[in-house]
Structure 1
Amino acid sequence: MSAAASQSELRLVVLGRAGAGKRSAVSAILGLQDTEEGTDVEVIQECSKHRGEAAGRQLVVVSSPSWFTSDCDPNDRRQHISSFIALSSPGPHAFLLCVPVNQPAEGEAKALSVLEELFGPSAVSTNTIILFTHTEELDEDERLEDYLVTWRKDLKELVGRCGNRYHTLETCGGEEEERRAVEELLEKVEESATQHFSCPLYQEAEEKVREKQEEMVRETRGEDSQMSPTEEEMEAVREEAERSIGDLDVDVESIFPCDSVSPSSPASSFLWVWWEKLTGWMRQLPKMLRREALLGALVGLFVGGPYGGMMGAAVGSVATEVRRRHTQKKK
């Protein structure tokens, strides 16, 4: 990649759990047709890289599987991390963390902590924007800002960790409003990051990509060629070189220690079963007297420890929201 091309394009890395709306976000940003729009299941097995143009800007959008969850295989995790870093090298202008407004935020809070461990605090405080998804769950006349402040302090805390930067690409209007939403997002990216993000991991990735580019050009020319590769030759093999990068020097073991409770463990599976049952009961029994704060406290007490506290707070928060919506609909 030439220095001029690197400076003229905006690079975005889209992150999020499975089903968080990463594919729809990429489609919206680049103006692509989301062929599976409206589906609940979103499984991305490999990192993907897309180029396009929006609001007069050249864009590179990299989307990654949910490597920050505890149930991700360590080998897959290292590969996913190395891949999205190489594909967004020499560094992104923003990490976009897709966050569903209708789910507890414990997983996303962990994702931000992982980004800080990988790249340093500024990766979150300066270069991350929360991209809220599934906003169709809000009432028709309810503003996202009011919802966060009034009902979802857990989501508000995520926003605070990211320098109070958040956005949504989901609109009720037509194409013009959708384009405006994308333009506003890109403006927020440029306001918070005048230069692309860089750190030792990205510097290592860029060095390896450049070395691979030179190697590939020499192979094409023949080993006897003594001429230095031109920028055009280097650019022609850039993406292939990025995809060839193996494991980077990522200390996966220290960043992702064996969690005492992980989504794949019996204890965590048990918790999520209870979470689904609790929210299911509240939907099915709307006339039942619900003491939301007590419900959250009981869950926290039952589970115990810091994890129980977070789980109880999430249950209480979502229970309150469910009750409020039901009350409004009856009026």
Structure 2
Amino acid sequence: MDSVTSECLEKHGIVSGRSVSVVDTPGLFDTKMTQEEIMMEIAKSVYLSSPGPHAFLIVFPANMRFTEHEQQIPQVIEMMFGQEVLKYSIILFTHGDLLKKKTIEELINTNVKLRHLVQQCGNRFHVFNNEDENNREQNTDLLQKIDTMIEQNNGYYSNQMYEDAHRFRQLEKERRKREEEERKVQMEKQIQEKTERLMKEKEQRIREEMEAKQRSELERVKAERQREEEQRKQQEEKRIQAEIKRVRSELEHKVRAEMEEKMKVEYKSQTKCDPDIDEFNPELHLSASAANKNSHTGVGAIFGGAVGLFAGPVGAAAGADAGADLGAAIRKWFS
């Protein structure tokens, strides 16, 4: 479950009469090292294999679950050693004895992701049986597959290829850094533009709300003033009507007094009476004026009107006639 190798370890030996050097590296997904430390340590394997490794062996236990980490192996290796590295790679399955009656081909074919990885390595794979360590044939078969791969590649993976890959990796790193900086600048620009746009929209919204509120307030004030103006006009109209009524009453009283005075003067002039003795009654005079319609004049008409008032509506005409006769007698007596 945990990584065993923490730094590159090189071993030499004779296999089938050939000198072989094997460099063991930390796992690509070491549990105790950072990704940067892993990459730096694995990179040493190239120089330990100078002038360059003939083959890269990607090792899996045959019974290991193929997870998301394992799917990333090709990308990680290409990032460290360049895009050509998979042409020099072979998948090596250990603990083949755990497969029991199942073959390694069946294991590969039943796992789509594992099959894709093997295909990326040119369909090159090999399996070791850990319970049959004395079986040297499995070692010889692996070396034979490596020889075939070298022949197909017209050589091995050289230090120069690694240097090119390293240089490319640095350039790629710088390119990504520039892209990241440009992305940040672009993002900052977009943030500023979006913020500015949102601020303008917010400002416009606030302005519209304030204008609507002001219009509403102006309409309210206008309506309030209109109501106040109507109330003021009503009050003014009431005051005017009251003043007119007062003036009218005064004028009526004044006209009535003048008329009464005029009638009094006329009465005295017509009767030639002593004003200190004769008492003027305007109501009698007005009634007498009505009696004059029967062509009676003078004091008799006035008394006739008075008699008509006492006699009531029915006897008004008769009273006027009688009053006329009485008036004629009185006028004769005074004359």
Using the size of structure 2 for normalisation, the TM-score is 0.45
Structure-1-length-normalised TM-score: 0.45
Indicate the structure with greater helix content: 2
Higher relative contact order (CA 8 A, sep 6+): 1
